[in-house]
Structure 1
Amino acid sequence: MSVEAKRLVLAANEAFYEAFRAGDHQAMCRLWAEQAPVACAHPGMQVISGRASVLESWSQILRNTSGSRMRCEGAVARLFGDFAFVTCLEANGDAPAHLCATNIFVLEDGQWKMVHHHAGPLATPQPRRRPPAGSGLLN
């Protein structure tokens, strides 16, 4: 896949974290696929399936985490045709990363849309790292 396609996937991934930080439920809704099946596994919770249920879970999370400074670091995109996944670490504010996440996207109507988010705890928090610019495009 092209570097441009990976850049677009990483942009969709960053838009997810921007919506999270902003507490913007409408932006979060626009990021999730409408045609493909979706699921989500929030840390410590059961898997949630179906677009309506997933978006309701995000509505609750966004209401209860106003002012969250959730960040994604070390994002790497891997593409397979109209399917892509991003692996990254998640942290809140300046704290060390405490979650590992996998975000899965499909190409839907010409845009990369999320179909699955799974975040779980790391055994050991990871200090903040600043990877070289564009490093997520190389893998």
Structure 2
Amino acid sequence: MEFAYSLSIAFKSLQPFIIATIITFLSLLVAVRSFFKRPRKSNASGPSASSGKDETKGATPSSSCNCSLSRNGNSDSEAFVRGVAGAPVEGSMVTADVSNVVAERQNGASMMEQLVPEITTHALSYLDYPSLCRLSMTNSLMRKAANDDNVWKALYHKDFTLEQDTVTPFNGWKAYYAATRAVMNVNTEFFNIIRDRSLPGMIRFWLNADYVKCVHASGELFSGYNAVIFSWHLAFNLQQGVDFHVTDVRARVLTDMAWVTMKTYVDMDNSAFNMTNVFEFHHGRWYLVHHHSSVLLTDGDMEQHNVNG
């Protein structure tokens, strides 16, 4: 009886330890079972590695579609959209951006083309002549925008004059701008020849024709090519080279004729003149056919002239 009683007391004292041991054993058993049921990495990657590069590409359709999008156009773009349609929620912004790009390519329109024409014209009006020419050589879209007639009209008014707002050039404002710029350059060359007192330059500058005329500031009229060249020969021999300050330059260009009016100053205080140059286009270049120079009357001179008149 005492042995049985002692055994029951010992069992009760060891009961918590036995329970803890059983629980620990069961936990270990569950962990071992879960470990063996988990798929191994080698098994997951094995079929992919053994099936070759084709299956590897098939397992990553998004990257291949992305490449084909840039190569193959609209058909691959549609496949790309279907491929990203099931993308996770966190990639929705990227998916939306890609969809917009694809939609633009499918419609054949870019963001630039979707702008209101007035906005495009206003933006390009801030460019100068060289920048606009360089822009037109970038791609077909920029060439179309840079060749817009309204853009060149705005550039003409900015670089030259507003007084020809009602003019409708026969070949458009771009051709009219180019012709006006060429005439302006030739007119500048005229004053360079005078400053350098270059008679050979003046000989080449005038059209060799009987109807050319030159009226110097002295009021003398010279008619015919030989007489005009002789007048410049006298002028270059009698005076030093003059560097004119030219202002208020206005040009009007027709198909094969142009005229330029301006005010010129030897210095800003005196020796002011009104000048007019008339050019004709022959054999691919502009020639001077008429030059007229007269003293610019001041307000006092005009009042005296009116009294004398």
| Band of TM-score, shorter chain | 0.7 to 0.9
| Alignment-derived partner of residue 50 in structure 1 | 224
Aligned with residue 294 of structure 2, among 96, 116, 120: 120
Q: Report the Cα distance in structure 1 between the residues aligned to 2:261 and 2:227, rounded to whole angstroms.
A: 23
- Point out the more displaced range, 80-89 or 34-43: 34-43
1:82-101 equivalences under 5 Å are: 82-95=256-269, 98-101=272-275
Change (3 A) 1:9 1:62: same
Aligned with residue 65 of structure 1, among 239, 244, 251: 239
Q: Report the Cα distance in structure 2 between the residues aligned to 1:4 and 1:91, rounded to whole angstroms.
A: 27
- Point out the more displaced range, 24-33 or 61-70: 61-70
Q: Report the Cα distance in structure 1 between the residues aligned to 2:203 and 2:184, rounded to whole angstroms.
A: 18
Q: What is the percent sequence identity of the aligned residues?
A: 28
**Number of positions where the alignment pairs a residue of Structure 1 with one of Structure 2:** 125
Q: Report the Cα distance in structure 2 between the residues aligned to 1:43 and 1:94, rounded to whole angstroms.
A: 17
| Structure 1 runs not aligned, ≥5 long | 126-139
Q: Report the Cα distance in structure 2 between the residues aligned to 1:25 and 1:60, rounded to whole angstroms.
A: 10
Instruction: Report if the CA contact (8 A) 2:249-2:261 is conserved.
Output: yes
Aligned with residue 205 of structure 2, among 17, 26, 31: 31
Q: Report the Cα distance in structure 2 between the residues aligned to 1:49 and 1:95, rounded to whole angstroms.
A: 32
Q: Report the Cα distance in structure 1 between the residues aligned to 2:293 and 2:234, rounded to whole angstroms.
A: 17
Deviation at 1:37, TM superposition (A): 2.5
| Alignment-derived partner of residue 3 in structure 1 | 177
One-letter code of the match for 1:3?
Y
Deviation at 1:72, TM superposition (A): 2.2
Please give the per-residue CA displacement for 1:22-50, whole angstroms capped at 9, x wherever unaligned: 11111111110124721001113232100
Please give the per-residue CA displacement for 1:63-105, whole angstroms capped at 9, x wherever unaligned: 2222322232221110121010000011114545610001000
Deviation at 1:114, TM superposition (A): 0.2
Q: Report the Cα distance in structure 2 between the residues aligned to 1:117 and 1:58, rounded to whole angstroms.
A: 12
Q: Report the Cα distance in structure 1 between the residues aligned to 2:209 and 2:255, rounded to whole angstroms.
A: 17
Instruction: Report if the CA contact (8 A) 1:36-1:115 is conserved.
Output: no
Q: TM-score, normalised by structure 2?
A: 0.38
Q: Report the Cα distance in structure 2 between the residues aligned to 1:102 and 1:60, rounded to whole angstroms.
A: 21
Is 1:21 the counterpart of 2:221? The answer is no
| Alignment-derived partner of residue 252 in structure 2 | 78
Q: Report the Cα distance in structure 1 between the residues aligned to 2:210 and 2:286, rounded to whole angstroms.
A: 11
- Point out the more displaced range, 28-37 or 43-52: 28-37
Q: Report the Cα distance in structure 2 between the residues aligned to 1:93 and 1:123, rounded to whole angstroms.
A: 15
| Alignment-derived partner of residue 136 in structure 1 | none
Which structure exhibits the higher relative contact order, with contacts defined as CA atoms closer than 8 Å and separated by 6 or more residues?
1
Write 1 or 2 for the structure with the bigger share of helix.
2
